[in-house]
Amino acid sequence: MLSEVLLVSAPGKVILHGEHAVVHGKVALAVALNLRTFLRLQPHSSGKVDLSLPNIGIKRSWDVARLQLLDTSFLEQGDVTAPTPEQVEKLKEVAGLPDDCAVTKRLAVLTFLYLYLSIFRKQRWTKEDLELINKWAFQGERVIHGNPSGVDNAVSTWGGALRYQQGKIASLKREIRKGKSRKAAPVDPRLLIPSLLYLLSKQEPIAPCVPDAAALGVGLERPPALQILLTNTRVPRSTKALVAGVRNRLLKFPEIVAPLLTSIDAISLECERVLGEMGEAPALEQYHVLEELIDMNQHHLNALGVGHASLDQLCQVTRAHGLHSKLTGAGGGGCGITLLKPGLEQPEVEATKQALTSCGFDCWETSVGAPGVSVHSATSLESRVRQALDGL
């Protein structure tokens, strides 16, 4: 069992190119976002399991003795698979959540309990690698989505960048085979916690895929660490409705929309090529190509009908500062990314961020191509992260 404090973090994820086109068999490029979720696992002698997720207002506690007395045979499965509807109902009983509990909170708690009861009840630990973290993370996401793509857990586990097309996940240069389901081995508790880190903010699933460590080799090849602004327009949207809207437009205007999707695919492939050539010393001209690709893709996405006035405003504000932006994800509001070229003076970056926040948006300066799941010592964390964790 864990005998000391464990600090773990995992990156977020954004789509560089390929939104919506990926639903129709085209390539999408996903990258790890260095806005990280941190989690602290700390043993204590209270006899309770405590779960605190302050960002979504969750603070729950269960008696370990009561959990140990539960009949958990409903979790007995030979492979690492998703819980059945009957198992989910059992988990709801264990969780003790009120009927009016928000969906996000309910899913987070059920995911935690599923992983806790499935792994910690085994009472014996062996060291496993990132493959097992990824597989358990994938199962946690299936509690939320039912049929996830496998992209989010792969990016958060290994970091870097990957491409996704028709159920196949690959690094920028080599293909990752679709992993076969394997028996869930008992694991060191240090391998459980990373699986919980990325589950609270997901996009619409496409098709299941769980790449394994053997196929990955040493992990996803890392692209250059591009500096970006991530901006949340704070406009809610339905991914399902937006995906359906593109499909309907394709059926109505096939000779117009199909070439748009093919062109978005070409943009993704060209971006992949440029990123592969940038290496450790990217040239300014390569950034100019990335900016052109961003502009073209944004126009294509508007033509597909997934733009929004707030995203147009975001692009206009950043363009006034000489920067290039596009939506990321489903569109219709939501988030956008802005590429920051090397040599851009910090006062100009701050002015752009201020202009975006003045529009009522949330804005963060960060990077993509970040490391995957990582273990930290307390002294290595930034003071703001330590303060947030100490306040739990």
pLDDT bin (cut points 50, 70, 90) of residue 91 is confident
Check if the beta carbon of residue 170 is closer than 8 Å to that of residue 202: no
- Mean pLDDT, the chain, whole residue set: 78
More confidently predicted of 62 and 56 = 62
**3-state secondary structure string across the chain:** CCCCCEEEEEEEEEEEECCCHHHHCCCEEEEEEEEEEEEEECCCCCCEEEEEEHHHCEEEEEEHHHHHHCCCHHHCCCECCCCCHHHHHHHHHHHCCCCCCCHHHHHHHHHHHHHHHHHHCCCCCCCCCHHHHHHHHHHHHHHHHCCCCCHHHHHHHHECEEEEECCEEECCCCEECECCCCECCCCCHHHCHHHHCCCCCCCCCCCCCCECHHHHCCCCCCCCCCEEEEEECCCCCCHHHHHHHHHHHHHHCHHHHHHHHHHHHHHHHHHHHHHHHHCCCCCHHHHHHHHHHHHHHHHHHHHHCCCCHHHHHHHHHHHHCCCEEEEECCCCCCEEEEEECCCCCHHHHHHHHHHHHHCCCEEEEEEECCECCEEECHHHCCHHHHHHHHCC
Chain segment 153-176, per-residue pLDDT in tens = 888 888 889 999 988 888 765 333
Q: How high is the pLDDT of residue 191?
A: 44
pTM over 0.95: no
Chain segment 12-37, per-residue pLDDT in tens = 999 999 999 999 999 999 999 999 88
Maximum mean pLDDT: which of 72-81, 248-257, 274-283: 248-257
